[in-house]
Amino acid sequence: MGAGRSENDLRRRVRGIFPGANPLRRRTDYFEPVALLVVVLIAVVTVVASIVIAQSELRDRLGEADREQAAKHQVVATVVAEVGNSGGNAQRPVAVRWGQPPDEHFAVIELPARTPAAGTVPVWLDQQGQLTAPPLTRAEATQAAGLAGAGVLIGSAMFTGVALAGVRLFVTRRRLAAWAAEWEKVGPQWRNHAS
C-alpha cells in the first residue's frame, strides 16, 4: 500500500514539473519550468567559462610576471631630497641616487605621502639600467585572474537576472491579457447566473 502512494506522489511531482495535456493550461504556463532549465544551463556554462577564462588569464599573467622578473632587477637608492610639494596627494616626488661615482645615477620617483623622505628605497631598473616600474608579482597575477573569472560570473548573473525579469514581466502581461479576454467571455454569464 505504501508503494502505490509513493508512486502517485512521484507522478504528481513529475506532472508538476512537466505538465501533461491539461485543458486549462496555457502556453505561458510553461514559462517557469523552461526558465528554470535555461537558468541552470546558463549557470553551468557561466561557471565553466569563468574557470576557463580565469585559468587562461592566470597562465598569461604568470608568463608576463616571469618575463618581467627576468628583465628587471632591484637596486637600493638613497633619497637625496624632496622635489616640490605633494599638495595633499597620496604620492610625493623625491630625488634618489644609486650607484657609485663615476657610474652614479639620479632620478625622481613618487613615494607614498606617509613614507619618510630620508634613508633608502628600493627601485627597479630594466636591462638598459633605466628606471622602471616594479615587475608583476605572482600574487598580482593571481588576483588579476580571479578578477577576470569573477567578472564573468557577475556579468553573466546580472545579464541573466535582467533578462529573466524582462521575460517574466512579458509573460505575466500575456497571462493577464489572456485572463482578461477569457473573463470578457465568461464574466457576463456569471453575472447573469448570480442574479
* Angle, helices 31-71/138-194, rounded to nearest 10 degrees: 170
Question: How far is residue 45 from each of residues 27, 163, 175, measured CA to CA in Å?
Answer: 27, 16, 30
Least-confidence region, from 9-23, 141-155, 172-186 = 9-23
- The pTM score is 0.66
What do you get for the CA distance between the two ends of the chain, in Å? Answer: 48
As a whole number of angstroms, the longest Cα–Cα distance in the chain is 112
The residue among 131, 126, 68 whose CA lies nearest residue 94 is: 131
Question: How far is residue 57 from each of residues 135, 149, 158, 181, 184, measured CA to CA in Å?
Answer: 17, 9, 22, 55, 59
The residue among 121, 122, 123, 141 whose CA lies nearest residue 132 is: 123
- Report which of residues 89 and 142 the model is more confident about: 142
pLDDT at 161 over 50: yes
**Predicted pLDDT of residue 150:** 96
- The model's pLDDT over 5-46, given as tens digits with 9 standing for 90+, comes to 677 777 666 666 655 556 666 777 778 888 889 999 999 999
**Predicted pLDDT of residue 1:** 47
**Predicted pLDDT of residue 45:** 96
- The model's pLDDT over 44-97, given as tens digits with 9 standing for 90+, comes to 999 999 999 999 999 999 999 999 989 998 888 888 877 776 566 777 788 888
Question: Which phi and psi (to 5°) does residue 130 adopt?
Answer: -90, 150
Least-confidence region, from 19-23, 98-102, 169-173 = 19-23
